[in-house]
């Protein structure tokens, strides 16, 4: 779920509100853009094309009814990971088409850029994230202990109570019904 919403209005060839920061390089799933379409955009089929700051890593998104938010021409669009693979200015191009039978006519195009901030990480960061054998053994021991205690319990309420009792901060004041 996104934590940041950027409000933008698409009017004629402009994306008003573009220029905002959509996250740091390498991040994902934290930002969405609320796109409100006006004027010539109403009633058109809309497709979004994202590229990262290098102009690569293209991602296409087709706006669908399940993305509608509030009004009939307002869409909540998650910013794709591909747009944030490099620091700089990611580009969003929106194409609006009228479909009649088998014919598509491009009626509108808008474009804007969004900032992607640098994310400094040491070159050996992947090595730093590896779980050592001791930590892995501890995690597996805890998982196995929980599995053993749950396998003996037939009732769902007992499972919930067992999990709650295993929590270090559980004080017994929650009643499972």
Q: Report yes or no on 86 lying in a domain.
A: yes
- Verify that 87 and 146 share a domain, yes or no: no
* Whether residues 53 and 137 fall in one domain: no
Q: What is the CA radius of gyration of the chain?
A: 24
* pLDDT tens, per residue, the chain with 177 residues: 568 999 999 999 999 999 999 999 988 778 999 999 998 999 899 999 999 999 988 899 999 998 999 878 999 999 999 999 999 999 999 999 998 888 989 999 999 999 999 988 766 655 555 555 566 677 677 777 777 666 665 566 666 666 666 665 556 655 554
Residues 80 and 155 in one domain: no
pTM: 0.67
H-type helices in 11-155, by residue range? 125-129, 133-151
DSSP string, 41-58: GTT-EEEEEEE-TTS-S-
Q: Based on the domain organization, do 155 and 80 belong to the same domain?
A: no
Find, among 102, 111, 128, the residue nearest to 50 by Cα: 111
**Domain, as residue range, for 146:** 131-166
DSSP-assigned states of every residue in 58-80: -EEEE--GGGB-SSTTEEEEEPP
Residues with Cβ within 8 Å of residue 153, at least 6 apart in sequence: 159, 162
The answer to whether residues 156 and 107 belong to one domain is no
**Domain count along the chain:** 2
Q: Quick one: 108 and 27 in the same domain?
A: yes
**Other beta carbons less than 10 A from residue 145's beta carbon:** 11
């Amino acid at each position: 779920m996104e934590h940041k919403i950027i409000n933008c209005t698409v009017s004629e060839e402009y994306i008003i509100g573009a220029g905002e920061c959509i996250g740091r390089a390498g991040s994902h799933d934290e930002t969405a853009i609320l796109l409100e379409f006006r004027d010539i955009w109403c009633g058109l089929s809309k497709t979004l094309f994202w590229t990262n700051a290098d102009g690569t890593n293209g991602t296409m998104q087709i706006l669908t009814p399940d993305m509608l938010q509030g009004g009939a021409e307002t869409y909540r669009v998650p910013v794709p990971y591909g747009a944030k693979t490099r620091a700089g200015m990611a580009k969003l191009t929106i194409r609006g088409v009228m479909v009649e039978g088998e014919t598509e006519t491009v009626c509108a195009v808008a474009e804007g850029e969004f900032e992607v901030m640098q994310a400094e990480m040491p070159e050996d960061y992947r090595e730093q994230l590896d779980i050592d054998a001791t930590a892995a053994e501890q995690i597996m021991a805890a998982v196995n202990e929980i599995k053993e205690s749950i396998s003996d319990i037939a009732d769902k309420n007992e499972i919930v109570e067992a999990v709650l009792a295993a929590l270090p901060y559980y004080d017994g004041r929650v009643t499972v019904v």
